[in-house]
């Protein structure tokens, strides 16, 4: 891949370091972990040691200062392992911890963030409920104030790292209906009345995903993240980066499909010659590359615009869809080029093919992205 002018020497050095880490610590074990349904917890501390975990968080909490291009690089490099479950689980703190950083008390930040960014503790975000996912303003899980505690009742589902998270940033209703009644509280450990149930999925097998149940769970009022009624805004502020990161990973997964397909096409012989010498295969590869390069260019431009302080919500929604449809196309064509070998478990294109839909659904479905973009465009 030719690096764009947006990248500086420090970006290139960071990319090289992470690529070596992925090749050494993740890629050789990716299929084994996927089949096992989990990856070792020690991977968090190993990732922290190379600057993965604290990227973009202040140094005072154990973070590693870096711009959005650094975070895009991190998402794209880990995706090269061809196992989205590792990235989803390892980076669940990138959606669970920012509300703590931006809205939590200084005491909460000083106590909680260093544990997360060192890889010692795992962070998760719990918003989606069985009754609805994207309609955050109408969530039903309640937190009722009783003296110096909140009493929580309700449930959450599709929670990444939900089974083993030590800190859960939980969206609850502390007030009346609508967005103004939504708050965030921090759940620590395994309080009495909380239960977790593991979910089996089409893809991302090694990323634990759970449904969480809360029955009269009591947490101290100091667990409130920010002020009551400001949870909805805190959640919305994180969506630009979440969608940007998701798009980065999807584009990188698409590129992996292209690279794997090229390598296979050069070695697979039919009718007396490698299949890459058949025009129909070459055209498939060109079509894959065309979509990937267009998506990557859009990603880098929007990352730069965010760094300039812009808020291009409509374009980020479109980028998310552009990236996930590119991933879907390349995963399908990659498996097609592999033929029967692509239908067998254990190759990257097969794993990525199973992960297409979660990328098209998570952080806002394709349909919601189009609707939000159209509203931002004044349509």
Domains of the chain: 9-117 (1.10.540.10), 123-227 (2.40.110.10), 238-376 (1.20.140.10)
At residue 4, the pLDDT reads 72
> Residue 242 catalytic?
yes
- The total number of residues shown for the chain amounts to 379
At residue 243, the pLDDT reads 96
Q: Which residues of 303-328 are buried (b: 16+ CB within 10 A; e: fewer)?
A: bbebeeeeebbbbbbbbbbbbbbbbb
Q: Could you count the other beta carbons within 10 Å of the beta carbon of residue 107? A: 9
Among residues 315, 317, 316, 319, the alpha carbon closest in space to that of 327 is found at: 319
Tens of pLDDT along the chain (379 residues) come to: 445 789 999 999 999 999 999 999 999 999 999 999 999 999 999 999 998 999 999 999 999 988 999 999 999 999 999 999 999 999 999 999 999 999 999 999 999 999 999 999 999 999 999 987 678 899 999 999 999 999 999 999 999 999 999 999 999 999 999 999 999 999 999 999 999 999 999 999 999 999 999 999 999 999 999 999 999 999 988 888 999 999 999 999 999 999 999 999 999 999 999 999 999 999 999 999 999 999 999 999 999 999 999 999 999 999 999 999 999 999 999 999 999 999 999 999 999 999 999 999 999 999 999 999 999 999 9
Marked catalytic residue, from 27, 129, 228, 242: 242
| Alpha carbon distance 31, 37 (integer Å) | 10
């Amino acid at each position: 891949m030719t690096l764009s002018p947006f990248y500086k020497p420090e970006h290139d050095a960071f990319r090289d370091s992470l690529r070596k880490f992925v090749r050494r610590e993740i890629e050789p074990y990716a299929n084994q972990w996927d089949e096992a349904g989990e990856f070792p917890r020690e991977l968090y501390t190993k990732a922290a040691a190379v600057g993965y975990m604290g990227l973009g968080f202040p140094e005072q909490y154990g973070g590693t200062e870096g711009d959005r291009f650094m975070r895009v690089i991190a998402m794209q490099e880990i995706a090269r392992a061809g196992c989205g479950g590792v990235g989803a689980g390892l980076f669940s703190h990138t959606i669970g911890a920012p509300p703590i950083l931006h809205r939590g008390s200084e005491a909460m930040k000083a106590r909680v963030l260093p544990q997360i960014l060192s890889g010692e503790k795992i962070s998760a975000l719990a918003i989606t409920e069985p009754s609805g996912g994207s309609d955050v303003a109408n969530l039903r899980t309640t937190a009722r104030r009783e003296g110096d505690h909140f009493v929580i009742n309700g449930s959450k589902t599709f929670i990444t790292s939900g089974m083993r998270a030590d800190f859960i940033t939980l969206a609850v209703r502390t007030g009346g209906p609508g967005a103004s009644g939504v708050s965030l509280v921090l759940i620590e450990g395994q309080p009495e009345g909380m239960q977790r149930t593991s979910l089996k999925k089409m893809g991302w097998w090694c990323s634990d995903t759970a449904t969480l149940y809360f029955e009269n769970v009591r947490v101290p009022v100091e667990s409130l993240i920010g002020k009551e009624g400001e949870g909805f805004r805190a959640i919305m502020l994180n969506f630009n980066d979440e969608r940007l990161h998701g798009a980065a990973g999807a584009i990188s997964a698409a590129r992996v499909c292209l690279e794997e397909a090229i390598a296979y096409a050069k070695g697979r012989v039919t009718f007396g010659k490698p299949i890459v010498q058949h025009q129909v295969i070459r055209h498939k590869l060109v079509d894959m590359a065309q979509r990937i390069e267009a998506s990557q260019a859009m990603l880098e431009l929007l990352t730069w615009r965010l760094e300039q302080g812009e808020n291009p919500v409509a374009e980020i929604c479109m980028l998310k869809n552009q990236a996930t449809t590119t991933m879907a196309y390349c995963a399908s064509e990659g498996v097609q080029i592999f033929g029967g070998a692509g239908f067998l478990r254990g190759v990257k294109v097969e794993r990525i093919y199973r992960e297409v839909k979660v990328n098209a659904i998570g952080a806002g479905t394709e349909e919601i992205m189009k609707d939000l973009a159209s509203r931002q465009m004044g349509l």
